[in-house]
Amino acid sequence: MIFENIITSLHGEGERKTGLITLNRPKQLNALNDALMDELGSALRAFDADAGIGCIVITGSEKAFAAGADISAMAKFNLTDTYGSDFITRNWETIRSIRKPVIAAVAGFALGGGCELAMMCDFIIAADTAKFGQPEIKLGIIPGAGGTQRLPRAVGKAKAMDMVLTGRMMDATEAERTGLVSRVVPLAELMSVALAAAQSINELSGMSVMMAKESVNRAFEGTLADGVMFERRLFHSLFATVDQKEGMDAFLNKRKPVFVQR
Ligand code: HXC
């Protein structure tokens, strides 16, 4: 596929590869406009549908993962443009429907919609240069792609209120301490660490990986009792797969499993 605002590439060894999506509007610090988000949605859907892909990584540049929604595109919007056209819903929700794991590899600024995009991924690996923030309040608006909902779930109410109400940035150390990111690594190692994490996922049984993702996501919706029951049923169903037999047999016979994705 030919894109103008993102670059896609395949990485890794073995039968299942990693689909890497690099946001690529460097002059605008990867500000997220409709064209970029449409391309991101297309690339995500294509990778999700490709049996040769096990995991997806989204990254930006060294300076910016993404500095937010494109302010120049939004500046003249009125209520008809936003509410009337259901601004952002069209192409921002695609990532939520992706069933394979999506890792955000973040260096530099992840602000506003950029922070929200990173939080929509399954987990975030950050370079030590990463800076996260929801500065929308300084523009006279509020986060519009889930920031007020996902940030408190990730870092708790006090930190989320601080970030959303003051618009200040959080550095990588604070982001790891508060649970926004899973790991912080030196900038030079960001892509090798993120691609290695993806590669380790590629080597697993894809059905157990997708069910694990579905089950963890369920923890953020509904009650604990419902979530535990949902997990139990997915757990039960994995005993119908060839890969469960293989995984357990390999362990018992002290060998590396060879998963067949069935
Ligand atoms: C459009 C942007 C942009 C953005 C940066 N640029 N962020 N253009 N939308 N969100 C452009 C600048 O205008 C500038 O263009 C170029 O990128 C480089 O940016 P500088 O400001 O010169 O760089 P620097 O001084 O290093 O500052 C970096 C920065 C700053 C701190 C990230 O650019 C900044 O504060 N950006 C805005 C961040 C923000 O408010 N994000 C939230 C947006 S609202 P020129 O042409 O001058 O070189 C949002 C709502 C989401 O995300 C709602 C759901 C979708």
Q: Report pLDDT digits (tens) over 48-60.
A: 999 999 999 999 9
Q: Which of the four pLDDT bands, split at 50, 70 and 90, describes residue 117? A: very high
Amino acid at 136: E
Q: Which of the four pLDDT bands, split at 50, 70 and 90, describes residue 88? A: confident
Residues with C-beta less than 6 Å from any ligand 1 atom: 28-29, 31, 67-72, 88, 109, 111-113, 135-136, 139, 143-145
Q: How far apart are CA 152 and CA 107, in angstroms?
A: 22
How confident is the model at residue 91, as a pLDDT?
84
Q: How far apart are CA 253 and CA 107, in angstroms?
A: 42
Q: Percentage of the chain surpassing pLDDT 70?
A: 100
Q: Quick check: 54 and 94 in contact, CB under 8 A?
A: no
Overall average pLDDT of the 217-235 stretch: 95
User: How high is the mean pLDDT of the chain?
Assistant: 96
Q: Best substitution site from 5, 24, 70, 71 to test ligand 1's pocket, by max atoms within 8 Å of Cβ?
A: 71
225 is catalytic: no
Structure tokens at 33: 């406009």
Q: Which of the four pLDDT bands, split at 50, 70 and 90, describes residue 85? A: confident
Q: How far apart are CA 109 and CA 63, in angstroms?
A: 7
| 3-state SS string for the chain | CCCCCEEEEEECCCCCEEEEEEECCHHHCCCECHHHHHHHHHHHHHHHHCCCEEEEEEECCCCEEECCECHHHHCCCCHHHHHHCCCCHHHHCHHHHCCCCEEEEECCEEECHHHHHHHHCCEEEEECCCEEECHHHHHCCCCCCCHHHHHHHHHCHHHHHHHHHHCCEEEHHHHHHCCCCCEEECHHHHHHHHHHHHHHHHCCCHHHHHHHHHHHHHCCCCCHHHHHHHHHHHHHHHHHCHHHHHHHHHHHCCCCCCCCCC
Which is nearest to 58 in space by CA: 90, 32, 34, 35? 32
69 is catalytic: yes
Q: Quick check: 199 and 18 in contact, CB under 8 A?
A: yes
Q: Which of the four pLDDT bands, split at 50, 70 and 90, describes residue 176? A: very high
Give me ligand 1 centre to Cα 148, in Å.
Answer: 20
Q: Best substitution site from 5, 25, 29, 62 to test ligand 1's pocket, by max atoms within 8 Å of Cβ?
A: 29
116 is catalytic: yes
Q: Percentage of the chain surpassing pLDDT 90?
A: 94
Nearest CA to ligand 1 atom 37: 67
Overall average pLDDT of the 204-222 stretch: 96
How confident is the model at residue 203, as a pLDDT?
96
How confident is the model at residue 223, as a pLDDT?
95
Q: Which of the four pLDDT bands, split at 50, 70 and 90, describes residue 193? A: very high
Overall average pLDDT of the 127-152 stretch: 97
Give me ligand 1 centre to Cα 243, in Å.
Answer: 47
Question: Does the pLDDT of residue 2 top 90, yes or no?
Answer: no
Atom number of ligand 1 nearest to Cα 71: 9
How confident is the model at residue 89, as a pLDDT?
81
How confident is the model at residue 93, as a pLDDT?
87
pTM comes to 0.96
Q: Which residues of 128-149 are buried (b: 16+ CB within 10 A; e: fewer)?
A: bbbbbbbbbeeeeeebbbbbbe
Catalytic residue among 136, 144, 175, 176: 136
